[in-house]
Structure 1
Amino acid sequence: MYVTFPPPAPLAPYVRMFWAFEYQVPDGQPYVYRSLADGCAEMVFHYKSRFTELDGTCDQAAVLHAQTSRYRRFLTHGSFGIFGAYLYPSALPQLFGFSAGSFSNEMPELSAVCGAEGRWLEERVMTAKYHHQRVEILSGFLLRQLEKRKPAETAAHHAIKTIIKAQGMVNVTELAADLCLSARQFERNFKAYAGFPAKTYARIVRFQRAAAQYGRIEENLTALAYECGYYDQSHFIHDFKEFSGYHPRRYFSGRPEGIEYRD
């Protein structure tokens, strides 16, 4: 079961959605989830069972899964329940005051990021009985963060929104010029709020658009590559393998790991 919940209106510029994913794993069978490269960060709470990263470094109950340019694989041996908030990339500096670039490809415990407030939040979300309660608890916490920081819109926010709206199909040099910034100013500000250089971020957004086409198993890869903004099939294959670990033909025609939430 995968369900989503909209954020309260004041949080809509920072939170794309709240979500919950529960899955019944057959007794005695392992379940592997593969997270793909993503330009957005997530606050993730494992309220039923936990996952261990296959390199053995992660089994925390509540984490901040920052924006990432690589895929990761996680393992559990039991039925699980996960709740999370899917954040826009600039939410980390806007709501928490951190440079997004300092967290890229990291997954720290929530308590390490938010201290005592993070521990309190973890306990409340983990022990809630219903998802709507989790939404209320986490929304309340984020609204208090918003009130404390009162973030202002910047040129970097506009650039990020432009890239997301264009699904990665933008000319970064032209975008910087439109914002009346030098290339160096643009890249410094963009990385602070998005976590990656603008060209890398646009590649990740373009890849995400392609990965979201899962289910179109009869699709011609060349046609799909052009539709998603790639110049040719070789660039499509290169980016897809880098950001997912899969050749796109295998991803679209097989059953990739941890894809049940898309079904």
Structure 2
Amino acid sequence: MQYYTILPPPDLAPFVKCFWVLEHEVSAEKPYFHKTLADGFPELVFHYKGRFDEIDRAGNAELSFIAGLTGPTSLYRRFRISEDFGIFGVYLYPFAVPALFGMPTIETVNEMPDLHSMLGKKGLELEEKIMLAENNQVRIAIMCQFMRGCLTRNAQPEPAAFAMISQIIQSNGLTSVTELAQRNALSTRQFERKFKAFSGFSPKLFSRIIRFHAAMNAYGDKEKSLTEIAYEAGYYDQSHFIHDFKTFSGEHPDRYFSGNSEATEYRDV
């Protein structure tokens, strides 16, 4: 298995956290299962080789898209594939959705629209270019050109929205919502309405998801106990940490940090 990330060029860095690539040769006898967890960041995903089935809670399988947007999500999902695969992704900041596609981020929450449904003919053209590209450097160049065109055409989100969401991300979800509203000269209700339009979630739920990721990113540090991971991520007690982890990942943190989770295999490469 091969997984790696690439930083965006400076002009796109306010909107794109990173590009990423995941490739794997799958054994014919053993399908590969992958779990995605709750995430405050949307991403564009292109399956340029192979195609996954999404497995619902009842165990039923349905073909996932070839190319599309995974919106910010409070859900976890399971996927399965029985053939070699290659995936190219663009990990976006939440406010990139209105900037690139001219739609409120909240419309994409917990949704996975394919590119054609979302962008029409332009989506199909982008999908075809990405699929036919000879390598991932070319895919990055294609995506950069596409996003620059989108940013030129669409009105830019308010700078204050960037700042409010970025402050919660940078503080790992530990910024006081009341203080943030006051800092931006907004009532709590105004702040929550504006924040939700550009992030997709209420400030409280978004902060919980960002804090969950701060804890999750301690994966691989064998020196830390679960208690240490919880407190460093800002959880005030172990039960609160376990509750959020189960809500956003579907499993106990013991399993996740043991390395036996379907959500961690790609991180072990």
TM over 0.5: yes
TM-score, scaled to structure 1 = 0.97
> Within 5 A, what are the aligned runs for 1:62-101?
62-101=67-106
What's the secondary structure of 1:9's corresponding residue? coil
Query: Percent identity, aligned pairs only?
Result: 50
> Of 127, 134, 142, which residue of structure 2 is paired with 1:129?
134
> Within 5 A, what are the aligned runs for 1:55-66?
55=56, 56-66=61-71
Deviation at 1:218, TM superposition (A): 5.1
What's the secondary structure of 2:230's corresponding residue? helix
- Indicate the residue corresponding to 1:53 in structure 2: 54
Given residue 208 of structure 1, which amino acid in structure 2 is its aligned partner?
H
Could you give the per-residue CA deviations for residues 197-246 of structure 1, whole angstroms, max 9, x where no partner exists?
00100000000111111113453222211100001101100000000111
What's the secondary structure of 1:10's corresponding residue? coil
Change (3 A) 1:196 1:57: farther
Distance between the aligned counterparts of 1:181 and 1:30, measured in 2?
51
Aligned partners of 1:90 and 1:157 also within 8 Å: yes
Distance between the aligned counterparts of 1:185 and 1:155, measured in 2?
12
Distance between the aligned counterparts of 1:219 and 1:108, measured in 2?
39
What's the secondary structure of 2:11's corresponding residue? helix
Given residue 92 of structure 1, which amino acid in structure 2 is its aligned partner?
V
Aligned partners of 1:37 and 1:68 also within 8 Å: yes
Deviation at 1:261, TM superposition (A): 2.6
Count of residue pairs the alignment pairs up: 263
Distance between the aligned counterparts of 1:28 and 1:63, measured in 2?
29
- Indicate the residue corresponding to 2:41 in structure 1: 40
Are residue 261 (structure 1) and residue 262 (structure 2) matched?
no
Distance between the aligned counterparts of 1:179 and 1:258, measured in 2?
37
What's the secondary structure of 2:121's corresponding residue? helix
Distance between the aligned counterparts of 1:258 and 1:210, measured in 2?
14
Query: 5+ residue gaps in structure 2?
Result: none
> Within 5 A, what are the aligned runs for 1:109-188?
109-188=114-193
Query: 5+ residue gaps in structure 1?
Result: none
Change (3 A) 1:101 1:154: same
Given residue 147 of structure 1, which amino acid in structure 2 is its aligned partner?
T
Aligned partners of 2:256 and 2:264 also within 8 Å: no
Could you give the per-residue CA deviations for residues 50-96 of structure 1, whole angstroms, max 9, x where no partner exists?
11110234421101001101110011111110001000011001111
Distance between the aligned counterparts of 2:156 and 2:192, measured in 1?
20
Aligned partners of 1:217 and 1:253 also within 8 Å: no
Deviation at 1:127, TM superposition (A): 1.1
Distance between the aligned counterparts of 2:7 and 2:231, measured in 1?
32
Given residue 103 of structure 2, which amino acid in structure 1 is its aligned partner?
F
Distance between the aligned counterparts of 1:130 and 1:214, measured in 2?
30
Deviation at 1:144, TM superposition (A): 0.2
What's the secondary structure of 1:120's corresponding residue? helix
What's the secondary structure of 1:46's corresponding residue? strand
Change (3 A) 1:254 1:136: closer
Given residue 243 of structure 1, which amino acid in structure 2 is its aligned partner?
F
Deviation at 1:46, TM superposition (A): 0.3
Deviation at 1:19, TM superposition (A): 1.0
Larger mean Cα displacement after TM superposition, 251-260 or 221-230: 251-260
Distance between the aligned counterparts of 2:157 and 2:83, measured in 1?
44
- Indicate the residue corresponding to 1:237 in structure 2: 242
Aligned partners of 2:37 and 2:249 also within 8 Å: yes
TM-score, scaled to structure 2 = 0.94
Distance between the aligned counterparts of 1:175 and 1:152, measured in 2?
18
Could you give the per-residue CA deviations for residues 144-199 of structure 1, whole angstroms, max 9, x where no partner exists?
00111251543221110000110111111111111110111111110110000001
Change (3 A) 1:5 1:22: same
Distance between the aligned counterparts of 1:121 and 1:218, measured in 2?
44
Change (3 A) 1:46 1:240: same
- Indicate the residue corresponding to 2:28 in structure 1: 27
